[in-house]
Each structure stands twice: as structure tokens, then as C-alpha cells.
Amino acid sequence: MLPTPAARASQSVLIVDESDDAREVLRTVLAHRGVQIWEAEDEADGLRMAREVRPDVIVFDIDGDNASDAICNEYAIEAARGDASLVLLGTLRRAQTTSGEFVAKPYQYAPLILRIEQLLEQAPRLRRRAA
């Protein structure tokens, strides 16, 4: 069962991806469904935003030019610190070095969006608000 429109309005996703097209597709679909979207096109800005806005889900492309293992681990730490789910997009080369949900490239948008919505439904902060 997906969250109600009122619950969705309080949900947020941070998309960190160098690809304007990937960010646009995710932003358009998720915003249309009532999710607040934050975006960053580079890893440093994304990490800063994750610390500031504390999104429910962080979607991070681990194949970016500056996405070192250390940066990937920083995202995992920040996600855990903020009770956020972390979705990693990329090739298998880093999949085993970072915790989080992994989606291999090339990916289809529909299953990715469905997984993000499932994670939003399970978001710890939503459970706390409802209690």
C-alpha cells in the first residue's frame, strides 16, 4: 500500500547524479506523485545536501567522476545517521564496497521508481510521525 497524498507531501528524495536526464526523469515522476525532490549533480553538493535536508531516500550514482570508495562510504554513513535509505546506481565494481540498495546500470526507470516508492513507504521517519 502506497502512502496517502498527505504522507507523500512530507517525503523527500535526494537525487545525486551527473546526468541531467536521469535527474529529470526521476524528479518529474516522483514530484508528480507528491514527493519533495532535492537534486545535486556532483558528489560534494549531494553530501552537503544530505546533511542539511535529511531526505528519506538518497539516490546516488556511484559511477560519477569523483565517486571514490570514500565518498560512497560517506553517503552510507550519512544515510544511516539520518535514517534514510540509500539507493546506489552503478556498475558492479563498487557494489560490494558500500552498503545500500544497489541497482545495476543500465537500469529501467519503472522498477527503480517502484523501489524508491517502497523505501519511502518503509521510511523510519514516517513510522515515527504516525505513532
Q: Print burial letters for 54-86: b (CB count within 10 Å at least 16), e (below 16).
A: bbbbbbbbbbbeebeeebbebbbebbeebebbb
Q: What pLDDT is stored for residue 92 in this prediction?
A: 67
Domain tally for the chain?
1
**pLDDT tens-digit readout, 17-37:** 999 999 999 999 999 999 999
- What is the span of the domain harbouring residue 58? 5-123
pTM of the model: 0.84
131 lies in a domain? no
CATH number of the domain bearing residue 100 = 3.40.50.2300
**pLDDT tens-digit readout, 104-124:** 888 999 999 999 999 999 986
